[in-house]
Structure 1
Amino acid sequence: MSEFGDALGTASEGSLFARAVSRATGRGKADESGPVVEGNCLNCGTELVGSHCHICGQKAHLHRTLSAVGHDLVHGVLHLDGKLWRTLPLLAWRPGDLTRRYIAGERADFVSPMAMFLFTVFLMFAVFQAVGFTTPTDISAPDMKQFGSVLEKEQAQLKDKRKDLVASLEETTDQAEASRIRSAIDEVDQDIASIETGRSVIEGDKKGGKSNLNITIGNPTGSEFMKHLNEKWRKNPGLMLYKLQSNSYKFSWLLIPLSLPFVWLLFAWRREFKAYDHAVFVTYSLAFMSLVFIVLSLMGKIGVGLPWLFTIFSTIAPLHIYRQLKQAYGLSRWSTIWRLIVLLFAIFVVIALFLQILLFLGAF
């Protein structure tokens, strides 16, 4: 094992040394393990003028090293390069400035909003898996028969209580006491009726013997689709929770089109702001929120309590949205505040719509 480690370390050192040397080499062709720099583009044959071909965009400086393979792997998966480290500070501290500069055309130095969003969402779910923040898979459906027996026992106790109250009513001669006992009997009768309704839902009515749970819980219309969805949740809630989590990752991009109409409404009379501006704003904002969730999940892993985590998020999220609104759209303080308040309410609507979509997708 130590020999393998030494060999791996030597190979890494050699690779890094070759890469450092290759950067110092001039124009021309190197050996097969180093960089390759041609007078003409190796891809399309165009004569090279700078560091990249001005026709096809391929780099003039090519590497044939192990480190180059690792770089290509990371670049191919994330496509971030050094842009990430120029984007993150602005995304955290000056999100509106980042949004405005990207909209204005400064693209070369920053990660695009969608790439940043996809990267942060991928990283967030990876961290959730690592810290164990996942849906439980050992959830079983409730035992409806046992549930019904509990209700039956409680109903029997209420009936005994009613008998005692009726007996007390027959013995008393005080009108005030009799009135109090009659009120107590009425309350017991209401409790008995409520339990009887619950039993009929769980166990089925006496005539048909078929449970009405599908129609009563989560299905006021009794549609076939809602029956099907409710039945799947009853039979295997663990699987449905897993599908809910999986779909929330796969379809997280839906948060962008769901949020766009609400942001557009905030600036409907400001014609200088287009739908594209709002899309960049929303996407960068969602990317930052994903990063916040990553940090909070790591803090929770090391023992920070849930009240503190909630306080931190409920403080950072509105402040970040406020700064991004004010900087990106050049708003005054009051214009930013009222838009922030409306947007916070809109966020709850967006989350509710997103959850409804996930529940719909979970039925298939």
Structure 2
Amino acid sequence: MSDVTEGLGGVVEGALVGGAVEPVRGRLADHGESVTCANCAAVFIGNYCPNCGQKAHIHRTLTAIAHDLVHGVLHLDGKLSRTLPLLAFRPGKLTRRYIEGERASFVSPMSMFLFSVFAMFAVFQMVGISTPTNIEVDRAALAIQDRSAEAASELRTQIEALEEGDPRRAELENELRLVERIEAGMGSNGKSEQVSEDPDPDAALDLRDLKLQVTGVDFIDEGIVQKWRDNPGLMLYKLQANGYKFSWLLIPLSIPFVWLLFAWRRSFKAYDHAIFVTYSLSFMSLLFITLSLLNAAGLELGWTVLLFATAAPLHVYKHMKYSYGLSRFSTLWRFFALLVFILFVLMLFLQALFLLGGF
């Protein structure tokens, strides 16, 4: 139940954060009386001051605080009903209309992105989709295996230093055979072969051979690897938490790659690409939410994967074609190039998460 309550809290948090960056659309009052703004003393007619944006009517009650909270959570409701259908079925039209200036009627891309990402991670938590954080290394078994390897190496060195026929050499050879049998009887995870025949879902993992090339700088990569060896569960938790907190990095990472697809088309600016990328990421987050809920409701995993493999590429294709007004051929080659670029972006994002988790 705690996962559900935390998930609901995450949805509320996402709505509040999304509402915080969403521009407020002022409304004219129903009456024609002028109002003096309590903040800047401007005289105006309406519900919001045209000079500083403060509300005309100021409340000092606990009910007003509750109203502000509910409004903050549901602030996107009016615009959301107009934005979601277009985002799902006519994303190119939504992006084009927003770029051309029709913005008061729709949820802004950044607000939509923040809300959808917060909601996605919250829903993941509610349905039990998360990285395993209870991985423990059997340090005692690994220590025995390490000591066995060190002892075997030391014995070999001592044996090589002794002459043939030396009685001490025979004793050391007997010890070496015993140590090698002990070492051979340990599995790759530090457990004996007999234990490993009975698979245990909580079996320890051997992370001593883990090698990561995150930055290409040896001392940084070695520090990250050491933290994975010491506490893999904590590192997985950091990856999950950082993926949640730094998901916005996907936007600046993606914009240069989209710009490359239109580098010679001066009519398209970096702003256009930013709107395209942000709305696309918002849809993908909402798609993950929908599919995870369907899977939790009983939809088989195979069908879930098939729906994603169909809906995600189709949406990207339609979004690109109608956002930029491209022909079918121009859209197709850019679409396949974009699929390759997406892999690069995900790799860069994962590297950033590894780097953030190491410090």
TM-score over 0.5 for the pair? yes
Amino acid of the structure 2 residue aligned with 1:217: K
Amino acid of the structure 2 residue aligned with 1:290: S
Distance 1:282 1:361 in 2: 23
Deviation at 1:78, TM superposition (A): 7.0
Deviation at 1:132, TM superposition (A): 1.4
1:285-341 per-residue CA deviation (whole Å, 9 max, x = no partner) reads: 001100011111111211222221111111101111111111110011111111111
Superposed, which structure 2 residues align to 1:172-251 within 5 Å? 217-218=211-212, 223-251=218-246
Task: Tell whether 2:46 aligns with 1:50.
Answer: yes
The alignment covers a number of residue pairs equal to: 279
Distance 1:84 1:72 in 2: 18
Which of residues 70, 81, 101 is equivalent to 1:105? Answer: 101
Task: Tell whether 2:127 aligns with 1:131.
Answer: yes
Q: Percent identity?
A: 60
SS in 1 for 2:98: helix
Distance 2:253 2:98 in 1: 22
Distance 2:144 2:258 in 1: 47
Task: Tell whether 2:267 aligns with 1:272.
Answer: yes
Distance 1:53 1:79 in 2: 19
Amino acid of the structure 2 residue aligned with 1:107: R
Which of residues 276, 280, 302 is equivalent to 1:307? Answer: 302
Distance 2:291 2:298 in 1: 11
Task: Tell whether 2:249 aligns with 1:254.
Answer: yes
- Measured on the aligned residues, the alpha-carbon RMSD in Å equals 3.4
More RCO (CA 8 Å, sep 6+) = 2
Matched-pair contact (CA < 8 Å) for 1:259–1:350: yes
Task: List runs of 5+ in structure 2 lacking aligned partners.
Answer: 1-28, 150-182, 191-206
Superposed, which structure 2 residues align to 1:4-153 within 5 Å? 27=31, 39-60=35-56, 68-76=64-72, 79-141=75-137, 145=142
Matched-pair contact (CA < 8 Å) for 2:320–2:331: yes
Q: 1:252 to 1:330 in 2, by over 3 A?
A: same
Q: 1:120 to 1:216 in 2, by over 3 A?
A: closer
Deviation at 1:41, TM superposition (A): 3.0
Distance 1:235 1:68 in 2: 50
Matched-pair contact (CA < 8 Å) for 1:95–1:323: yes
Q: 1:302 to 1:215 in 2, by over 3 A?
A: closer
Distance 1:49 1:333 in 2: 51
Amino acid of the structure 1 residue aligned with 2:255: L
Deviation at 1:124, TM superposition (A): 0.8
1:43-68 per-residue CA deviation (whole Å, 9 max, x = no partner) reads: 33333233432222234356677665
Matched-pair contact (CA < 8 Å) for 1:75–1:81: no
Task: List runs of 5+ in structure 1 lacking aligned partners.
Answer: 1-24, 29-36, 153-194, 203-212
Deviation at 1:233, TM superposition (A): 1.0
Distance 1:141 1:329 in 2: 52
